[in-house]
Every structure is written in structure tokens, then in C-alpha cells.
A and B are shown apart, each in its own frame.
Chain A
Amino acid sequence: MAQGSGVALRAAGDALMDAIDLALYDACHEEGCPICRLRLAGERRYLLRLLSEFVNDAFVRERYIASLGFCPQHARQLQALEQDRWGDGLGNAILCEDLLTRMLKALHQHRETWTHCSAPRGWRPRRSRIALPHALTPRSLCRVCELGETLVARNSERLVRAAAEAGELWEAYADSTGLCWDHLRQALEYVSSDNSLAAVRLLDQSINRLQALTAALDSYVESHDYHHQGEVLSAEVRASWLHAVAWLAGEEL
């Protein structure tokens, strides 16, 4: 099977793989944690669709307002996407304008309330008792984060199932970079009580990768000793510290 040939696999009539498995299969052939890759791709797809079609959709807008916009990372991603693709910021501006108008209105309304509720003279509490207005309090999570979490959960579950079945998807995963720290933890949560073998397979794959990474990191650290200066490092050793960051912190957003 050629690398990254998920579509070919489906065409070959492998009934065991559905669209989710195929996406996972393809992600296993890319560099880095496949669950991170699929999460990033799914979030990017959502943001692109939002900018293309849904900026003026009432339901999407209400959800955006409820979470007081997106989290900082996804807000920046939305901005960069619109700037890169359309060289403009109209979609972002429309969303921000709606939210800011509501916030400004809330500030004006509640300023009056706060002005008239003074504390007794000489009394200075350590913490505020001032309740923030509804419009300034997020009522739900960032929609894109929520979607990302759903994707992670779904793909982790599939990966655990693939580990138990040990089929073609598992073979692709076994040859991949493996899961990052956080996604390995999440995948372990999906191992059922009668399926210890899946956990063992997942961990064996991680152990092999981590042993290789630690050896490469050791060589990288040693190469900074003056005794070893001038020695030519392999590509794997040179990039080991970057792989370690990706492993510990997840793929770069």
C-alpha cells in the first residue's frame, strides 16, 4: 500500500474503513501526531466555512456571542485565514462589531448600577463583589475548541479500536510519529476494561518512539560538549529538540 493512499484503500473495497478511519489513515502518513493533525485540519475547515458562508448565519452568530468570540488562538487563526485568503477582514469585522456593540451597551447599563452601590466608608474588601453583566460573561466554550475536542475524542476512540483490531490502520499508525503526550493520555481514557491489549499496543509504540527520541536528545546534548564539536549530526539528532517540543506541547498551531 502506497503511503497516504487512503482513497485507494477505499477503492480497493476495504469495507472496514469508513471516512473517519481513512482520514486517520492519511494523517498517520504525515509528520507529527495524527490526532493533532486532524484536529488542526478540522478547526481550519470550520473557520474557512464560517468566513465563506456563515458570518451572517443567526445560529452561528448567537453561538459566537455566547462564548464572547473565540479563544485567543482561534481568533488569531480566523484573522490570519481571512487575511491570507481574501486579503481583507470584513467577516472578522462583522463578528467583532456585533459583539462589541453588545458589550458597550452592557457597560453603559451597568456603570450606572455600580456607581450607585458604594461600599461603607473605610471598608475595603480584598476581592470584588461586583457581578459582571451577562453580556460580559462567556456562557459557553469557544466553538472551535469544542469542535476540536469532539474530533480528538472521536479519533482517539477510533485509534484505540484500531489498536485492538491490529489491521491496516494500526499498521499505518505503528509506523507513524505516534501520539503527542496529551493525546496519548486521552486515548488511554478510551481503552475499555476488556481491551488491555489496545493499551499495551499503544504504549509499546510510544515506548519505541520515546526511546529513539531520548537517544537522539542525549546525542544532541552531548554534541554541545566541546569534545564533540565539529562532529556531523544526523538529521534526526539535529531535529530531536523540535520533536521533543512537538511531543510535549502538541503540534504547532
Chain B
Amino acid sequence: MARHALYYTLLETLAEPGCAICRMGEKAVIRFLENLVYEGANDAQFRAEALLSRGFCNLHGWQLRDCHGSGLDVAILSRDVVKAWLRRLESFAPEQAPTRAFSDLRAALGMANGNAGARALAEALAPERPCPACKARDTAEQAYIEELLDHCADPEISGGVIRAGGLCLTHFRKVMHTAATAEQAALIAQLQAEALAPLLQTLEDFICKHDYRFQAEMTATEGESWLKALALLSGQRGTR
């Protein structure tokens, strides 16, 4: 299997502890947000996309706030969305109250008794596209998942996966869904099991050493095992 830039980036990332796919997704989001702050707010296509996605999701909205000098870009993008929203609200025409008989008939037919006008407005305000930063992250993650599967038999990659502590649950499941053959799935499952076993052992030790008799024996690795376990179950901080 040919080795390209993705392979070497993956290999480099596997040298760091934690789920490599999370890290690649995180880097993709940072790159995306930095590009946005640098030039994206005046890009017509991006603004149109941000309008359809109604801005960013909660995580990336606040992450963008933390990018240096993002105030103006956020203001420009938000202004577009808020103005579009405002136009929708101002043109709202509520459904007039139906007759009692009609309400009773709707209830008898098991139809919702909501206000059709209000519901239509609620639907019109729903995002039509996913958050652009989530999209950038998902695209990058998928590329690295496929690269990982293509090279999972490569000893450097498989050793890297174990040394890094395996994949987080979300990405492990994605990798398994993407795996094309049973061999790939079996190999990934084996790597994940090999990565999990030592963590589980230190986690058990961490719990046991909360017993007052063993408190003095706690090591640094055991002390941080619960944080590693959390990252493994829920992904790296700030990725989702």
C-alpha cells in the first residue's frame, strides 16, 4: 500500500497519547477556524453556507470566540444570520384560532393541536446545513479513518495505535463501520483490546488505592488513568 502525506501525518499523530483521529479532527477544526478568521468572513460562498447552517454549533461557536481577533468576523457572519432571522420573524402571520368543532375534530383524529403558523416558522428557522466546523472535522476524520484502515497491518501504525492508547469509542465505532473486510475489523479490535487492557489495569489500581491502606502507593500513571479513560470513552477534550 502506497504511503502518502496522510500516512505520515497519521504516524506522527500516533506518537502523541490519546485517540489519533480525535487529534486530527481537532487540528482540522483549528485550521478551519483560523482560516475563517483570516479571510473567511468576506468569502461570499462561506457566508452563504453559514447562513444555511445558522452559524455554528454551540461547541464551535464558542471555540471561534477564543480565536485571536475573531470579533469582527463573528460580528459579520452573525449579522447576516440575525438579519435573515429577523426578516422571518417580522413576516410571521399566526394561524387564526380555529372553531371549537374543528379543534375537537383534530383532537379526535389524533392530530397535534399546535399552531400551524408557529410550527411552520419553527421549521423555517431550523438549520439547513450542519455546522461548517463540524463538517470540516468529519471530513478530516473520515480521511484518516480510511488511511488507518488501509495501513492497519503496517507494524508502525499498529504499534502506534497501541502506544497511543487506542481509539476513542466514537472513532472506534466509526472505524468498525468503515472497515471493508473482516480481517481489518479483527485487527482493529485486537489493537483496541491491547490498548485497553493496560489502561483498565491502572484504572483498577487507581480505584483500589483510594482505600486508606494503599493511599501512599498511588503512582502518577494511576493518578491520571481516570482522565485517560474518560478521553477514551468520550473523545479528546474540545472535539465534540
B59 engages A73 (CB within 8 Å):
yes
Which residue from A73, A90, A96, A249 sits with its C-beta under 8 Å from B55? A249
Interfacial residues of chain A within 106-163, with CB under 8 A of chain B in the complex: 107-108, 110-111, 114-119, 124-128, 130, 132, 136-137
Give the interface size class of chain B.
35 or more
Known: A97-B204, A103-B196. A192 touches B186 (CB 8 A): no
**A86 CB to nearest B CB, Å:** 11
A93 engages B226 (CB within 8 Å):
yes
* A253 is an interface residue with CB less than 8 A from chain B: yes
B180 engages A124 (CB within 8 Å):
yes
- Chain A residue total in the interface (Cβ 8 A): 79
* A99 is an interface residue with CB less than 8 A from chain B: yes
B65 engages A242 (CB within 8 Å):
yes
A214 engages B234 (CB within 8 Å):
no
* A210 is an interface residue with CB less than 8 A from chain B: yes
* B58 is an interface residue with CB less than 8 A from chain A: yes
The segment from A8-16, A22-30, A44-52, A198-206 found at the interface with B is A198-206
Chain A interface, DSSP helix/strand/loop, else mixed: helix
Known: A90-B207, A196-B117, A207-B89. A132 touches B182 (CB 8 A): no
Q: Which residues of A contact B85 (CB under 8 A)?
A: 181, 210
B103 engages A114 (CB within 8 Å):
no
Q: Which residues of A contact B173 (CB under 8 A)?
A: 132, 136-137
Q: Which residues of A contact B48 (CB under 8 A)?
A: none
* A250 is an interface residue with CB less than 8 A from chain B: yes
Which residue from B72, B210, B240 sits with its C-beta under 8 Å from A221? B72
* B140 is an interface residue with CB less than 8 A from chain A: no
Q: Which residue of B lies closest to A107 (CB)?
A: B193
A248 engages B181 (CB within 8 Å):
no
- Give Cα A233–Cα B86 distance, bound, in whole angstroms: 24
A104 engages B197 (CB within 8 Å):
yes
Known: A124-B181, A244-B82. A114 touches B76 (CB 8 A): no
**A84 CB to nearest B CB, Å:** 14
* B125 is an interface residue with CB less than 8 A from chain A: yes
Q: Which residues of B contact A104 (CB under 8 A)?
A: 193, 196-197, 200
Which residue from A130, A185, A203, A252 sits with its C-beta under 8 Å from B182? A130
- Give Cα A181–Cα B76 distance, bound, in whole angstroms: 17
* B74 is an interface residue with CB less than 8 A from chain A: yes
Known A117-B182, A127-B180, A181-B125; further 17 A-B contacts with Cβ < 8 A: A70-B234, A100-B199, A100-B229, A114-B186, A118-B183, A119-B182, A126-B180, A128-B179, A130-B179, A130-B185, A196-B118, A207-B90, A210-B89, A220-B71, A221-B72, A244-B78, A249-B61
On A, residues with C-beta under 8 Å from B are 68-73, 75-76, 79, 88-90, 92-94, 96-97, 99-101, 103-104, 107-108, 110-111, 114-119, 124-128, 130, 132, 136-137, 181, 184-186, 188-196, 199-200, 203, 206-207, 210-211, 213-214, 217-218, 220-221, 224, 240-242, 244-245, 247-250, 252-253
19 pairs of residues in contact across A and B, judged by CB atoms under 8 Å: A69-B169, A72-B235, A96-B226, A97-B207, A124-B180, A128-B176, A128-B180, A130-B185, A181-B125, A189-B114, A191-B115, A199-B117, A199-B118, A241-B74, A244-B82, A247-B82, A248-B54, A249-B62, A252-B62
Q: Which 9 A-B pairs have the closest CB atoms?
A: A249-B61, A244-B78, A196-B94, A75-B234, A89-B226, A96-B229, A93-B226, A248-B55, A72-B240
